[in-house]
Amino acid sequence: MKSPRSRHLLFRSLSTGALHTSQTAGTDAVPMHDPPLAPRDEAVFLLNIAAEVEHAVMVQYLFAAYSLRDPSQFTDDQAALVRDWRQVIAMVAREEMGHLVTVQNLLRSLGAPLSLARDEFPMNTGFYPFAFRLEPLSKNSAAKYAFVEMPPIAAATGIDGVTAAEIADITRRADEDNTGQPVNRVGKLYEQLKTIIESLPTTEFSSSSVSQQARFDEWGLGQHDILILSVGKRSEALEALNKISEQGEGPVTAGAAADPGSHFQRFLNIYRHFPEDNSWQPAYPTIGDPNVRTSVTGVDNPGQITQSEARLWAQLLNARYRRLLMTLQHALEIEAPAPTDLKGTARGLLISWAFSEMYQLRSIADLLFTLPATAAVGEKRTAGPPFEMPSSLSLPTLEADRWRLQSSMLQSAEMIVTSLAALPATRGADFLKGMADADAEAMQIANRVASQ
């Protein structure tokens, strides 16, 4: 069943006016709400879609990056490749995070709520660049990522020796990895957004909201590849959309794609060097689409993690993921201090907590890839980070209650940590202890602030 958001999504062909339920039905189709909305309303709807796409793509790239094995297992040449691939894909994931955060700023500037929701395993509406799959990196998935970043075929031919045959292979593999569906380009979404934004009066954009928006100086860690742009006026909204689509869509010109640092070339390099013959295994043999849903008898759930330790770690990852999303929202609800203000606000602490969750997600993900997915004898598949969405992303209205939620989330994580610590031999015992200690400190602070 489609989510409420997807149910209202249609694609209108610019040339014929025909409506489609999928973008794949027409290359000139633009997304829209069904029924049509007032311009600001439509813009907010499409920004919600954009947020969902960025979020989903980011999670998939993270999974792919984390799925690469520890380089120390390989020869020097192979290790260098694996390190580079992990870095490339993680970099792209960080860029997607930047896009997600900038989209939140766009929403904020229009006076709309933040949007961090995404469908868990959405149907392929044709809106996502590719179907949502949490899969280890493979030659096919590398081809898929390269295809998304590729300029138009005619322009791509010749870049770095790319031939028509190679493009055909990339395309075939990308579609194969995308369960037979063609891989899309998300540029249309941002083009439509720009069209609508251009039509909005300047008064629709709030400059006073900037003090609550995410700032590069808060989140970017000095990495200017990560686009986190403040939006206080219409021109800034358009600039943000231009930059996101430029970075995320891939090059529209051969010249840009020819840059060795372009996403296209970097993913092309992964595709080219990824072993086809299984002579070596860069990625863990991870269970596809891992999850910790409790299976119902008779309901097929091939990705279910059932090995006890792995299941607990996967649940803990979900708990940290939940806290990351909630803390990000909470941070953006608190006004940032003025540049000359010696006295800060709780926003900084929440930002630090959000980063802490990001680091912990990575640490737990790395650990999950070393654990068996099930307890079946001879199980060769490993577990992986499920990145399952929490049951709710609603933030309490009152500030004190938001801190109570912080405390609750930490307590919930603590329950899982306690279960893990009780296992006879848990991997990552030191990490678990450190996490527990940091959480205890955070809980103390949260309780104190909640007491206001």
Question: Residues interacting with another protein, by CB under 8 A?
Answer: 71-72, 79, 83, 86-87, 90, 215, 217-218, 221-224, 336-353, 355-356, 359-360, 362-363, 366-367, 403, 428, 430-431, 433-435, 437-438, 441-442, 444-445, 448-449, 451-452
**Is the Cβ of residue 392 or residue 452 nearer to another protein in the bound state?**
452
Closest contact distance (angstroms) between CB of 83 and another protein is 6
The tokens describing 124, both together, are: 């392929």
**Least Å distance between CB 424 and another protein?**
20
In whole angstroms, how close is the CB of 271 to another protein at the nearest point? 22
Give whichever of 6 and 370 is closer to another protein, judged by the CB atom. 370
Q: Is the dihedral of CA 254, 53, 323, 135 positive or negative?
A: negative
Comparison of 170 and 435: residue with beta carbon closer to another protein: 435
Q: How far is the CB of 151 from another protein (least distance, A)?
A: 29
Residues linked to residue 283 through DSSP beta bridges, in sequence order: 68
Which lies closer to another protein via its Cβ, residue 106 or residue 365? 365
Shortest distance (Å) from residue 360 CB to another protein:
7
Q: Tell the smallest beta-carbon distance from residue 312 to another protein (Å).
A: 16
Distance (Å, whole) CA 169 – CA 296: 40
When the beta carbons of 278 and 397 are compared against another protein, the nearer one is 397
CA distance 189 to 192: 5
Q: Which is nearer to another protein, 2 or 448 (CB)?
A: 448
Contacts by 73-76, CB closer than 8 A, 24 or more apart: 74/280, 74/282
CB of 286 to another protein, least distance (A): 18
By beta-carbon proximity to another protein, the closer residue of 367 and 416 is 367
| Least Cβ distance, residue 347 to another protein (angstroms) | 5
What are 20's strand-pairing partners?
11
Is the Cβ of residue 164 or residue 221 nearer to another protein in the bound state? 221
Q: Which is nearer to another protein, 208 or 451 (CB)?
A: 451
CB of 369 to another protein, least distance (A): 12
Question: Quick one: 246 or 399, whose CB is closer to another protein?
Answer: 399
CB of 439 to another protein, least distance (A): 10
